[in-house]
Structure 1
Amino acid sequence: MVLEFAILENRAVLTINRRDFFKLHKIKPEHTGIIACKDDLDWNRLATNIDAVISTESTLTGKVIRVNRFSSTTL
């Protein structure tokens, strides 16, 4: 399982598989972070949005970061 491996390696997961990872967050909220992105073919915009959100977070542990095309939120 990707989330289990990320936890073992002390890494966050970056995914476009949003629904499954939202469910996993509810099942196992003690993770090292999930960054769930909306599929965006503009890779520069996506990278900029990801950076804008995670650079403001002191930690990603236990958080789900939603990155949309034009806005982002933390759960």
Structure 2
Amino acid sequence: MAKIYADEQFPLPVVELLRTLGHDVLTVQEAGNAGDSDPEVLGFAVSNERAVLTQNRGDFIRLHIRQPDHAGIIVCTEDQNVERLATRINEAISAQETLKSRLIRVNRPQR
């Protein structure tokens, strides 16, 4: 399963569900990095070989373009249904052979 670094605003219930699905998820808060800038979040993730998990889509898409050598960036749209969001994230990353240098987009389903 994936090694993931969830940014500061990412919903903790989704993190916990991803852990039950077997993913190794570390939050910014658990790492003692609360308040880090987006480039610092990506830098920590790179140095620890973890994919960034975020709902801050615009900033992290721009960081991916500027610094494509990373362990993966997973950008998600907001979804109040945490189980559905965790399932979609799990499916998106499980479908990949590797997350290295990949930008994975997890979008809310259309109605």
- 1:20 CA drift (Å): 0.1
Please list the CA deviations of residues 17-61 of structure 1 after superposition, one character each: whole Å capped at 9, or x if unmatched. Answer: 000000000100001000000011110000010011111101000
Structure 1 length-normalised TM: 0.91
Pairs within 5 Å for 1:28-43: 28-43=67-82
Give the number of the structure whose alpha-carbon radius of gyration is greater: 2
Supply the RMSD in Å over aligned alpha carbons.
1.0
Give yes or no for the alignment of 1:48 onto 2:87.
yes
Identity level (%)? 51
The runs of at least 4 aligned residues of structure 1 exceeding 2 Å deviation read: none
- 1:62 CA drift (Å): 0.4
Q: Distance in 2 between matches of 1:54 and 1:70?
A: 17
Provide structure 2 residue ranges, at least 5 long, that are not aligned to the other structure.
1-39
Number of paired residues? Answer: 71
